[in-house]
Chain A
């Protein structure tokens, strides 16, 4: 079974802090994604990566950056956390385009 893990289930940070969210997949998937999920807004794509060291902006990249130094790991970085970044963050991976995505359990981030 594909396993996608995220570094924390719950995280509380203060405004202005630098925040790292880590995602690791164990099935040698090429593509990885970061979404945020908010009530009434559904899932919105922040960034994605088709391969190591590649990254593409999604629909809402402002305030975020990403890093993919190894194939299995995709990190989301909040350079200076703000209260409007309080949300559920979901990581996903897949082998190729046009197939299903496998999601991690999510990280609920609260920025105070």
Chain B
């Protein structure tokens, strides 16, 4: 079953602009992770934010988490053409059966135009 849903599905911006991608989910989580995928390649982990954290930074990336709204956002500042990729959120949570599960959303395709 789908947990994280990214919004928008696709985003096109100019180099130097900021890009914001959102992720909404339905159940309680332990943590939420963001990954990046260049076309035809594997996923690369960007940031992990735990349920008791509200904001996290890594270079030009800023992730926020609002557990009351069950949503997260990924902000890429001063975007570059090399940021062109698909971005996925993944929620890490306990299933009803008591096991841990990481569920990926369908991704936001970001295009940064030079």
CB <8 Å contact, B48 and A103: no
B62: which A residues are within 8 A, CB to CB?
none
B-contacting residues, A25-64, CB 8 Å? 40-43
Q: Which of B31, B40, B44, B107 has the most CB of A within 10 A?
A: B40
Contacts of B40 on A, CB cut-off 8 Å?
88, 106, 108
In the complex, the chain A residue whose C-beta lies closest to that of B104 is A43
Using CB atoms, name the residue of chain A closest to B6. Answer: A42
The one of B2, B100, B105 in contact with A98, judged by C-beta atoms closer than 8 angstroms, is: B100
Contact B31 A103 (CB under 8 A): no
Inter-chain contact B88/A103, CB cutoff 8 Å: no
Give the number of chain B interface residues (Cβ < 8 Å).
Answer: 20
Cβ-defined partner of A90 (8 Å) among B2, B31, B42: B42
Mark contacts of A67-103 with chain B using CB atoms, 8 A cut-off: 1 yes-contact digit, 0 otherwise.
0000000000000000000001010100001111111
Among A90, A99, A100, chain B packs the most CB atoms within 10 A around the CB of A100
Kindly state the interface size class of chain A when it binds its partner.
10 to 19
Instruction: Enumerate chain B residues within 8 angstroms of A108, measured Cβ to Cβ.
Output: 40
Contacts of A42 in B (CB 8 A): 2, 88, 104-107
Q: Tell whether, in the assembled complex, residue B104 and residue A97 are in contact, meaning their CB atoms are under 8 Å apart.
A: no
Contact: B31 with A98, CB < 8 Å?
yes
* A34 smallest CB distance to B (angstroms): 12
Say whether A4 faces chain B, with CB atoms less than 8 Å apart: yes
How far does the Cβ of B43 sit from chain A's closest Cβ, in whole Å?
4
Chain A interface (Cβ < 8 Å from any Cβ of B): 4, 40-43, 88, 90, 92, 97-106, 108
> What 20 additional pairs, Cβ within 8 angstroms, besides A98-B30, A102-B45?
A41-B106, A42-B2, A42-B88, A42-B105, A42-B107, A43-B104, A90-B42, A98-B31, A98-B100, A99-B48, A100-B48, A101-B33, A101-B43, A103-B35, A105-B41, A105-B42, A106-B40, A106-B41, A106-B42, A108-B40
